[in-house]
Amino acid sequence: MFKETINTKENTRTVDLRSDTVTQPTPAMRKAMAEAEVGDDVFGEDPTVNRLQEMAAKITGKEAALFVASGTMANLACQLAHCGRGDEMILGDQSHIFHYEQGGSAAVGGIHPRQIPNQPDGKLAPEDIEAAIRPDNVHFPRSRLIVLENTHNRCHGMTLDAVYMATIGDLAHQYNLKLHVDGARIFNAATALGAEASELLKQADSVSFCLSKGLAAPIGSLVCGSAGFINHARRARKLLGGGMRQAGVVAAAGIVALDEMIPRLADDHANAQKLAHGLAAMKGLDVETDFVKTNIVYMKISSDQSSDYKSAVDFADELHCRGVKILPTGPYKLRAVTHYGISADDIDYALNVTEQVLRKF
Protein backbone atom coordinates (compact mmCIF):
# COMPACT_ATOMS: atom_id res chain seq x y z
CA MET A 1 0.00 0.00 0.00
CA PHE A 2 2.74 2.41 1.09
CA LYS A 3 4.91 1.55 -1.88
CA GLU A 4 2.04 2.12 -4.30
CA THR A 5 1.06 5.52 -2.93
CA ILE A 6 4.59 6.90 -3.06
CA ASN A 7 5.41 5.38 -6.41
CA THR A 8 4.25 8.36 -8.42
CA LYS A 9 6.07 10.07 -11.25
CA GLU A 10 7.81 12.36 -8.76
CA ASN A 11 9.69 9.27 -7.71
CA THR A 12 11.89 9.57 -10.81
CA ARG A 13 13.81 12.29 -8.98
CA THR A 14 17.13 11.24 -7.47
CA VAL A 15 18.79 12.98 -4.54
CA ASP A 16 22.22 11.40 -4.11
CA LEU A 17 23.58 12.10 -0.64
CA ARG A 18 26.01 9.17 -0.46
CA SER A 19 29.12 11.28 -0.91
CA ASP A 20 30.44 14.58 -2.25
CA THR A 21 32.46 12.47 -4.71
CA VAL A 22 29.35 12.03 -6.91
CA THR A 23 29.54 15.66 -8.03
CA GLN A 24 29.59 16.35 -11.77
CA PRO A 25 32.12 18.81 -13.23
CA THR A 26 30.76 22.32 -13.81
CA PRO A 27 30.33 23.73 -17.35
CA ALA A 28 33.33 26.01 -16.68
CA MET A 29 35.41 22.91 -15.85
CA ARG A 30 34.36 21.11 -19.05
CA LYS A 31 35.36 24.17 -21.08
CA ALA A 32 38.70 24.58 -19.26
CA MET A 33 39.46 20.89 -19.83
CA ALA A 34 38.70 21.11 -23.55
CA GLU A 35 40.92 24.16 -23.97
CA ALA A 36 43.78 23.22 -21.61
CA GLU A 37 47.33 23.82 -22.72
CA VAL A 38 49.25 20.61 -21.98
CA GLY A 39 52.70 19.02 -22.00
CA ASP A 40 54.48 15.98 -20.54
CA ASP A 41 54.13 16.39 -16.78
CA VAL A 42 56.74 13.71 -15.98
CA PHE A 43 59.20 16.13 -17.63
CA GLY A 44 57.58 18.92 -15.59
CA GLU A 45 56.37 20.46 -18.87
CA ASP A 46 52.63 20.67 -18.43
CA PRO A 47 51.88 24.37 -17.93
CA THR A 48 48.37 23.70 -16.63
CA VAL A 49 49.58 21.20 -14.02
CA ASN A 50 52.34 23.61 -13.03
CA ARG A 51 49.83 26.40 -12.61
CA LEU A 52 47.52 24.24 -10.48
CA GLN A 53 50.47 23.21 -8.30
CA GLU A 54 51.48 26.85 -7.79
CA MET A 55 47.92 27.75 -6.80
CA ALA A 56 47.76 24.82 -4.36
CA ALA A 57 51.07 25.75 -2.74
CA LYS A 58 49.92 29.34 -2.33
CA ILE A 59 46.51 28.56 -0.88
CA THR A 60 47.97 26.12 1.68
CA GLY A 61 50.88 28.42 2.53
CA LYS A 62 53.52 25.89 1.43
CA GLU A 63 56.56 26.16 -0.80
CA ALA A 64 55.56 23.58 -3.40
CA ALA A 65 52.81 21.18 -4.47
CA LEU A 66 52.28 18.01 -6.48
CA PHE A 67 49.22 16.94 -8.48
CA VAL A 68 48.27 13.28 -7.93
CA ALA A 69 45.48 10.99 -9.07
CA SER A 70 43.56 10.57 -5.81
CA GLY A 71 43.45 11.30 -2.09
CA THR A 72 44.64 7.78 -1.37
CA MET A 73 47.68 8.25 -3.59
CA ALA A 74 48.31 11.67 -2.01
CA ASN A 75 48.32 10.26 1.52
CA LEU A 76 50.48 7.29 0.56
CA ALA A 77 53.02 9.43 -1.33
CA CYS A 78 53.29 11.62 1.78
CA GLN A 79 53.76 8.65 4.07
CA LEU A 80 56.46 7.23 1.76
CA ALA A 81 58.19 10.61 1.66
CA HIS A 82 58.20 10.96 5.46
CA CYS A 83 58.81 7.37 6.59
CA GLY A 84 61.06 4.43 5.79
CA ARG A 85 60.28 0.74 6.27
CA GLY A 86 59.77 -0.15 9.91
CA ASP A 87 59.13 3.45 10.94
CA GLU A 88 56.03 4.16 12.98
CA MET A 89 53.21 6.56 12.19
CA ILE A 90 50.78 7.75 14.89
CA LEU A 91 47.22 8.21 13.64
CA GLY A 92 43.61 8.09 14.81
CA ASP A 93 41.74 4.80 15.05
CA GLN A 94 38.91 6.38 13.04
CA SER A 95 41.15 7.90 10.37
CA HIS A 96 40.53 7.47 6.67
CA ILE A 97 44.12 6.30 6.17
CA PHE A 98 43.60 3.52 8.69
CA HIS A 99 40.10 2.47 7.57
CA TYR A 100 39.77 3.08 3.87
CA GLU A 101 43.15 3.00 2.14
CA GLN A 102 43.70 -0.75 2.07
CA GLY A 103 46.44 -0.58 4.67
CA GLY A 104 48.73 0.86 2.00
CA SER A 105 50.99 2.25 4.73
CA ALA A 106 51.97 -1.31 5.67
CA ALA A 107 51.28 -3.06 2.36
CA VAL A 108 53.36 -0.69 0.25
CA GLY A 109 55.41 1.37 2.67
CA GLY A 110 56.29 -1.10 5.41
CA ILE A 111 55.15 1.62 7.81
CA HIS A 112 53.87 0.55 11.22
CA PRO A 113 50.51 2.25 11.93
CA ARG A 114 50.09 3.09 15.62
CA GLN A 115 46.42 3.91 16.21
CA ILE A 116 45.30 5.99 19.14
CA PRO A 117 41.65 6.81 19.87
CA ASN A 118 39.97 9.62 17.99
CA GLN A 119 37.87 11.76 20.31
CA PRO A 120 34.24 12.16 19.13
CA ASP A 121 35.22 15.54 17.64
CA GLY A 122 37.97 13.99 15.52
CA LYS A 123 40.87 15.18 17.67
CA LEU A 124 43.71 13.10 19.05
CA ALA A 125 44.40 13.92 22.71
CA PRO A 126 47.90 15.46 22.97
CA GLU A 127 48.63 13.28 26.02
CA ASP A 128 47.73 10.14 24.00
CA ILE A 129 50.06 11.24 21.20
CA GLU A 130 52.87 11.98 23.62
CA ALA A 131 52.43 8.61 25.33
CA ALA A 132 52.63 6.87 21.94
CA ILE A 133 55.92 8.50 20.87
CA ARG A 134 58.68 5.91 21.24
CA PRO A 135 61.84 6.51 23.20
CA ASP A 136 65.08 5.48 21.53
CA ASN A 137 65.31 1.78 22.34
CA VAL A 138 66.48 -1.20 20.31
CA HIS A 139 63.12 -2.93 20.87
CA PHE A 140 60.98 -0.19 19.36
CA PRO A 141 60.18 1.03 15.88
CA ARG A 142 61.15 4.68 15.31
CA SER A 143 58.31 7.20 15.62
CA ARG A 144 58.40 9.42 12.54
CA LEU A 145 55.03 10.88 11.74
CA ILE A 146 51.79 12.14 13.30
CA VAL A 147 48.68 12.29 11.12
CA LEU A 148 45.62 14.49 11.66
CA GLU A 149 42.47 14.47 9.51
CA ASN A 150 40.62 17.76 8.90
CA THR A 151 37.65 17.66 8.42
CA HIS A 152 37.28 14.25 10.02
CA ASN A 153 35.24 11.97 7.78
CA ARG A 154 34.23 9.29 10.34
CA CYS A 155 33.88 11.82 13.18
CA HIS A 156 30.88 13.77 11.83
CA GLY A 157 32.97 15.83 9.40
CA MET A 158 34.22 17.77 12.42
CA THR A 159 36.75 20.57 12.07
CA LEU A 160 40.09 20.89 13.87
CA ASP A 161 40.85 24.56 14.59
CA ALA A 162 44.11 26.45 14.04
CA VAL A 163 45.08 26.46 17.74
CA TYR A 164 44.70 22.69 18.04
CA MET A 165 46.52 22.06 14.75
CA ALA A 166 49.42 24.26 15.86
CA THR A 167 49.56 22.52 19.25
CA ILE A 168 49.96 19.12 17.60
CA GLY A 169 52.45 20.49 15.07
CA ASP A 170 54.58 21.91 17.90
CA LEU A 171 54.33 18.62 19.77
CA ALA A 172 55.51 16.71 16.68
CA HIS A 173 58.45 19.03 16.14
CA GLN A 174 59.43 18.97 19.81
CA TYR A 175 60.06 15.23 19.36
CA ASN A 176 61.57 15.62 15.90
CA LEU A 177 58.55 14.04 14.19
CA LYS A 178 56.64 15.35 11.18
CA LEU A 179 52.98 16.30 10.97
CA HIS A 180 50.91 15.21 7.97
CA VAL A 181 47.37 16.51 7.54
CA ASP A 182 44.87 14.45 5.58
CA GLY A 183 42.95 17.51 4.45
CA ALA A 184 40.72 15.83 1.86
CA ARG A 185 38.08 18.41 2.92
CA ILE A 186 40.40 21.11 4.33
CA PHE A 187 38.42 23.87 2.57
CA ASN A 188 35.25 22.70 4.28
CA ALA A 189 37.14 23.06 7.57
CA ALA A 190 38.43 26.52 6.65
CA THR A 191 34.95 27.64 5.56
CA ALA A 192 33.26 26.37 8.73
CA LEU A 193 35.93 27.90 10.98
CA GLY A 194 36.07 31.20 9.09
CA ALA A 195 39.82 30.69 8.73
CA GLU A 196 42.27 30.46 5.84
CA ALA A 197 43.47 26.94 5.02
CA SER A 198 47.03 28.27 5.35
CA GLU A 199 46.36 29.28 8.99
CA LEU A 200 45.14 25.78 9.80
CA LEU A 201 48.24 24.27 8.15
CA LYS A 202 50.92 26.58 9.52
CA GLN A 203 52.70 23.85 11.52
CA ALA A 204 51.97 21.01 9.07
CA ASP A 205 54.92 19.48 7.19
CA SER A 206 52.60 18.12 4.54
CA VAL A 207 48.96 18.24 3.55
CA SER A 208 46.86 16.36 1.03
CA PHE A 209 43.56 17.73 -0.24
CA CYS A 210 40.96 16.53 -2.75
CA LEU A 211 39.66 18.40 -5.79
CA SER A 212 37.16 15.65 -6.51
CA LYS A 213 34.86 16.02 -3.49
CA GLY A 214 33.02 19.21 -2.56
CA LEU A 215 35.08 21.19 -5.07
CA ALA A 216 33.42 19.12 -7.83
CA ALA A 217 36.42 18.48 -10.09
CA PRO A 218 36.29 15.06 -11.75
CA ILE A 219 39.75 13.79 -10.72
CA GLY A 220 42.70 14.62 -8.55
CA SER A 221 44.30 15.62 -5.29
CA LEU A 222 47.21 17.81 -4.30
CA VAL A 223 50.11 17.22 -1.93
CA CYS A 224 51.72 20.36 -0.50
CA GLY A 225 54.86 20.93 1.58
CA SER A 226 58.45 22.19 1.36
CA ALA A 227 60.26 21.98 -2.00
CA GLY A 228 62.51 19.23 -0.63
CA PHE A 229 59.56 17.24 0.63
CA ILE A 230 57.74 17.57 -2.70
CA ASN A 231 60.80 16.12 -4.49
CA HIS A 232 60.49 13.03 -2.29
CA ALA A 233 56.73 12.89 -2.86
CA ARG A 234 57.27 13.16 -6.65
CA ARG A 235 59.56 10.13 -6.54
CA ALA A 236 56.96 8.26 -4.48
CA ARG A 237 54.23 9.20 -6.97
CA LYS A 238 56.28 7.74 -9.84
CA LEU A 239 56.89 4.57 -7.83
CA LEU A 240 53.13 4.22 -7.34
CA GLY A 241 52.52 4.51 -11.07
CA GLY A 242 51.14 8.01 -10.71
CA GLY A 243 53.43 9.86 -13.10
CA MET A 244 50.92 11.21 -15.61
CA ARG A 245 51.66 12.78 -18.96
CA GLN A 246 49.32 15.44 -20.46
CA ALA A 247 47.60 15.69 -17.08
CA GLY A 248 46.72 19.33 -17.70
CA VAL A 249 43.48 18.05 -19.22
CA VAL A 250 42.32 17.15 -15.72
CA ALA A 251 44.35 19.75 -13.82
CA ALA A 252 42.41 22.43 -15.74
CA ALA A 253 39.25 21.42 -13.88
CA GLY A 254 41.21 21.64 -10.64
CA ILE A 255 42.14 25.25 -11.38
CA VAL A 256 38.46 26.09 -11.81
CA ALA A 257 37.74 24.20 -8.56
CA LEU A 258 40.20 26.34 -6.58
CA ASP A 259 39.20 29.56 -8.35
CA GLU A 260 35.44 29.21 -8.13
CA MET A 261 34.18 26.42 -5.92
CA ILE A 262 35.45 27.22 -2.41
CA PRO A 263 33.02 30.04 -1.50
CA ARG A 264 29.99 27.88 -2.26
CA LEU A 265 30.95 25.24 0.34
CA ALA A 266 29.04 27.40 2.85
CA ASP A 267 25.83 26.45 0.97
CA ASP A 268 26.61 22.76 1.50
CA HIS A 269 27.07 23.42 5.21
CA ALA A 270 23.74 25.25 5.42
CA ASN A 271 22.04 22.35 3.63
CA ALA A 272 23.66 19.88 6.03
CA GLN A 273 22.30 21.90 8.98
CA LYS A 274 18.83 21.82 7.50
CA LEU A 275 19.08 18.09 6.85
CA ALA A 276 20.47 17.29 10.32
CA HIS A 277 17.81 19.28 12.18
CA GLY A 278 15.04 17.90 10.00
CA LEU A 279 16.16 14.31 10.58
CA ALA A 280 16.74 14.87 14.31
CA ALA A 281 13.09 15.91 14.68
CA MET A 282 11.90 12.57 13.28
CA LYS A 283 10.91 9.73 15.55
CA GLY A 284 13.05 6.72 14.77
CA LEU A 285 16.33 8.47 13.98
CA ASP A 286 19.11 9.75 16.23
CA VAL A 287 21.26 12.59 14.92
CA GLU A 288 23.92 14.35 16.97
CA THR A 289 23.24 17.79 15.53
CA ASP A 290 25.86 19.48 17.74
CA PHE A 291 28.57 17.68 15.79
CA VAL A 292 27.33 18.81 12.38
CA LYS A 293 29.66 21.65 11.39
CA THR A 294 30.36 20.96 7.72
CA ASN A 295 28.73 18.89 4.95
CA ILE A 296 28.52 15.47 6.64
CA VAL A 297 25.52 14.19 8.61
CA TYR A 298 25.53 10.84 10.38
CA MET A 299 22.30 9.29 11.59
CA LYS A 300 21.48 6.16 13.53
CA ILE A 301 18.30 4.14 13.41
CA SER A 302 16.93 4.43 16.98
CA SER A 303 17.10 1.20 18.92
CA ASP A 304 13.32 1.20 19.45
CA GLN A 305 12.91 1.09 15.65
CA SER A 306 15.63 -1.41 14.95
CA SER A 307 13.24 -4.35 15.12
CA ASP A 308 11.31 -2.83 12.19
CA TYR A 309 14.29 -1.73 10.17
CA LYS A 310 16.60 -4.68 10.53
CA SER A 311 19.65 -2.74 9.43
CA ALA A 312 21.02 0.44 7.97
CA VAL A 313 21.16 -1.40 4.63
CA ASP A 314 17.37 -2.10 4.75
CA PHE A 315 16.66 1.51 5.60
CA ALA A 316 18.93 2.79 2.81
CA ASP A 317 17.22 0.39 0.36
CA GLU A 318 13.77 1.76 1.26
CA LEU A 319 14.99 5.32 0.71
CA HIS A 320 16.72 4.34 -2.52
CA CYS A 321 13.46 2.92 -3.96
CA ARG A 322 12.07 6.41 -3.47
CA GLY A 323 15.00 8.22 -5.05
CA VAL A 324 17.03 9.19 -1.99
CA LYS A 325 20.49 7.67 -1.73
CA ILE A 326 22.41 7.59 1.55
CA LEU A 327 25.34 5.44 2.61
CA PRO A 328 25.17 2.73 5.30
CA THR A 329 28.40 2.94 7.34
CA GLY A 330 27.58 0.53 10.18
CA PRO A 331 24.89 -1.94 11.30
CA TYR A 332 22.53 0.93 12.26
CA LYS A 333 24.53 3.93 11.10
CA LEU A 334 24.22 5.89 7.87
CA ARG A 335 25.92 8.90 6.34
CA ALA A 336 24.53 11.70 4.19
CA VAL A 337 26.78 14.29 2.54
CA THR A 338 25.69 17.55 0.92
CA HIS A 339 27.49 18.89 -2.17
CA TYR A 340 27.40 20.91 -5.39
CA GLY A 341 24.67 18.65 -6.84
CA ILE A 342 22.27 19.17 -3.91
CA SER A 343 19.93 22.15 -3.53
CA ALA A 344 17.92 23.29 -0.49
CA ASP A 345 14.87 21.94 -2.33
CA ASP A 346 16.55 18.54 -2.63
CA ILE A 347 16.95 18.55 1.16
CA ASP A 348 13.20 19.19 1.55
CA TYR A 349 12.54 16.30 -0.78
CA ALA A 350 14.92 13.99 1.09
CA LEU A 351 13.34 14.92 4.42
CA ASN A 352 9.86 14.26 3.06
CA VAL A 353 10.81 10.86 1.72
CA THR A 354 12.59 9.92 4.95
CA GLU A 355 9.55 10.91 7.00
CA GLN A 356 7.33 8.74 4.79
CA VAL A 357 9.68 5.78 5.05
CA LEU A 358 9.82 6.09 8.84
CA ARG A 359 6.04 6.49 9.17
CA LYS A 360 5.52 3.16 7.48
CA PHE A 361 5.75 1.83 11.02
Ligand X SMILES: *Cc1c(COP(=O)(O)O)cnc(C)c1O
Considering the complex, what minimum distance in angstroms separates the CB of residue 208 from ligand X?
7
Residue 97 or 171 with smaller CB distance to ligand X: 97
- Does residue 71 touch ligand X according to CB under 6 A? yes
Considering the complex, what minimum distance in angstroms separates the CB of residue 221 from ligand X?
6
Considering the complex, what minimum distance in angstroms separates the CB of residue 68 from ligand X?
9
Among 182, 205, 268, 318, binds ligand X (CB under 6 A): 182
Among 96, 114, 144, 293, binds ligand X (CB under 6 A): 96
- Does residue 159 touch ligand X according to CB under 6 A? no
Among 38, 65, 210, 342, binds ligand X (CB under 6 A): 210
Residue 208 or 354 with smaller CB distance to ligand X: 208
Residue 94 or 354 with smaller CB distance to ligand X: 94
Residue nearest to ligand X (CB): 71
Considering the complex, what minimum distance in angstroms separates the CB of residue 149 from ligand X?
5
- Does residue 149 touch ligand X according to CB under 6 A? yes
3-state secondary structure the chain: CHHHHHCCHHHHCCEECCCHHHCCCCHHHHHHHHHCCCCCHHHCCCHHHHHHHHHHHHHHCCCEEEEECCHHHHHHHHHHHHCCCCEEEEEECCCHHHHHCCCHHHHCCCCEEEEECECCCCCECHHHHHHHCCCCCCCCCEEEEEEEECCECCCCCECCCHHHHHHHHHHHHHCCCEEEEECCCHHHHHHHHCCCHHHHCCCCCEEEEECCCCCCCCCCEEEEECHHHHHHHHHHHHHCCCCCCCCHHHHHHHHHHHHHCCCCHHHHHHHHHHHHHHHHCCCCEECCHHHCCCCEEEEEECHHHCCCCCCHHHHHHHHHHCCEECEECCCCEEEEECCCCCCHHHHHHHHHHHHHHHHCC
- Does residue 124 touch ligand X according to CB under 6 A? no
x/- map, 11-30, ligand X, by CB under 6 A: --------------------
Positions touching ligand X (CB under 6 A) are 70-72, 75, 96, 149, 153, 182, 184, 210, 212, 221
